[in-house]
Amino acid sequence: MFQKILIANRGEIAVRLIHACHDLGVEGVAVYSEADDHAPFVRMADDAALIGPPPPAESYLKAEAIIQAALDMGAEAIHPGYGFLAENAAFAQAVQDAGLTFIGPPPAAIAAMGDKAEARRRMEAAGVPITPGYQGKDDDRALADAARRIGFPVLVKAAAGGGGKGMRVVWREEELAEAMAAARREARHAFGDDRLIVEKFVPRAHHVEFQILADVHGHAVHLFERECSVQRRYQKIIEETPSPLLDSDLRARMGAAAVAAAQAVGYVNAGTVEFIVDPETRAFYFLEMNTRLQVEHPITEMVTGLDLAQWQIRIAAGEPFPYPQHALAQQGHALECRVYAEDPASGFLPSTGDLLLTRFPQGPGIRVDAGVIAGGAITHHYDPLIAKIIVHAEDRNAAIRRMIYALQQTAIHGVTTNIDFLLAVLQHPDFRAGRADTKWVDREMAGWQPEMTPDDLTLAALALSDVLVSAAPAQAPSQPAGPDPYSPWQSPH
C-alpha cells in the first residue's frame, strides 16, 4: 500500500478522496489554487501545495506543477478525481514517466475511450451494441451524407468530447449545417479538437450506466447500473440505482456488455460504461466510457457496500479484487441529488457569491458529500456544485420520501440553489413512475418557477437568525486548555 497520495483535484471529490486515504492509513496531500486557500479539502489534507492562481489553466490543469508537487511532498501516487486532468492520457503517461503511480486506467485505455470515434470502432469489434452512426472521414459533406443515410433525428457530437459539450440534436436536414458549425466551435474551445461523429438519436431514450472495476490480475466485474436520465443540457441532476427501467434479464445483458467493453481496451481500475436504452424496444446501445470515478459513485457504494474510492487505491497498489460477479448484489435503493449554485428559473444560470449559511441533513440512510462550508464562496472559476445529497432505503418509494425529507432539511444561503427544482422533480408523477427520459427536464419542466410558501418564509427567517447569531463575536473559552490535542478547547477557532 502507498504511504502518501496526492489528490489532483478540489472541492467535494478532494474531500472524498482524502477520507478514503485516511481510512486506508495513507496520507492524503493536496494541491490548491489561490481561490481555494481556505477550502475544507486543504485543511483536511496532511500537506498541501499552492500551484497557481484561480483559473484552472493556471492551476488544476498544470500537469507539470502537479507532478512536481507530488515529488516535492514525497507522494508515490496521484489520484485525479473527476474532471480537470482525470481523463487526460498525456497526464496519466507523464505521471508514470515521473516514476509515480496514476490511480486510474492505463493511458492507452484513456486514449482509446476518450476518442469517441475510436471507442465506437473498438466497441463494434468487441460485439458491444452501438447506435447506427458514422465515425469516418471528418468533413461536412461526408457527415451530411451519413446523417441522411442514418435518418433524422441524429446526434452530432465531438469525437474528443464529453460532458455534453460539442453535442447537438438535429431533427431536420435543414438544421444540420448550423448544428455542425456550432458543435465544431464548442468542441474546439472545450477540447482543442473539432472532429465530429454522427449517431442516430433515440427519442425518449433513458441514460443507464454500469460501474466497472477491473484489477491488474485480469479480473473484471460490474457493480450494476445507475439511472441518469434526469439531466439538463446533457448534465446529470438526479441519479438512482437500481434503474426503474431494467429487469433482471436486461441488467445481466447490459452488465456483460459493459465488462466486455472494458476488457476490449485492457481496462484497469474504476470506470463507467454508459448506454442509452430505448424504452419501447428494450434495445440498448453503447454511448461512451468514462475512464474515471463518477460524480454519482456514492449510490453504487450505498447499494453494494463497497467503497469505490478505496478500491481504486487498492487496485492501483496491486491488490486483487476478491469478489466474483455472482457474489455481488444490490441491496435496497439509492438516490443522489446534485445541489448546484444555479437558478433553474432563469435557464440554470450559475449563481456566485459568499456562502452565508450551509446546513446539511442528517439521519438514517442520509449521506452528504460536500466540499464547501459557510464562509466559503462559489466563484465563476469552477463548477457550481455545492454538495451531493445521497440517500439509501429499502425500496424506491422509501428512498424518494427520504430524499424529499433530506432536501427539505438542507439550507444554503448566499447563493441561489436548485433545491426547490429538485423537490419538484422528485414529486412529479412522471419521475415517480420511472418515465423520465433524457429530454424530460427540457420538455416537461421548461418554464418552471419556484413557489414561496409561508413555511418557506419562516424557514428563511430562522436561517437568517442563525447567520446573525453565528456572526456575533465569539467569547473566549472560560476553561483552560487541557492536555488532549484534539480537545475543542485547543482549537484556535
Burial of 287 (0-12, 13-18, 19+ CB in 10 A): buried
Q: Where are the alpha helices (DSSP H) in 36-171?
A: 40-44, 63-72, 89-97, 107-114, 116-125, 140-150
Beta strand 349-350 with 342-343: parallel, antiparallel or unpaired? antiparallel
Spatial contact of 238 and 422, defined as CB atoms under 8 Å apart: yes
Tell me the residue ranges of DSSP E strands in 204-307: 206-214, 220-232, 235-241, 269-277, 284-290
Residue in the block written with cell 454508459: 274
Residue 408's CB: how many other CB atoms inside 10 A? Answer: 14
Nearest-angstrom CA–CA distance, 259 and 342: 36
Instruction: Convert 337-359 to b/e letters by CB count within 10 Å (16 or more is b).
Output: bbbbbbbbeeebebbbeebbbbe
Local structure of 135: helix, strand or coil = coil
Grid cell of 199 as nine digits: 449517431
Contact assessment for residue 275 and residue 285, using Cβ atoms and an 8 Å cutoff: yes
Q: Give the C-alpha separation, 449 to 442, whole Å.
A: 14
Q: Is 452 exposed, middle or buried (0-12, 13-18, 19+ CB in 10 A)?
A: exposed
Q: Which of 16, 122, 232, 292 is catalytic?
A: 292
Provide the grid cell at 115: 476518442
CA dihedral over 202, 162, 307, 322, signed as positive or negative = positive
Which sign, positive or negative, has the C-alpha torsion 338, 341, 344, 348? negative
Give yes or no: 292 in active site: yes
User: What is the per-residue burial (b if ≥16 Cβ within 10 Å, else e) of 32-55?
Assistant: bbebbeebbbbebbebbbebbeee
Q: At how many degrees (to 10) do helices 116-125 and 248-264 cross?
A: 110
Contacts with 443 (C-beta within 8 Å, 6 or more apart), sequence order:
none
* Catalytic positions, written as ranges: 292
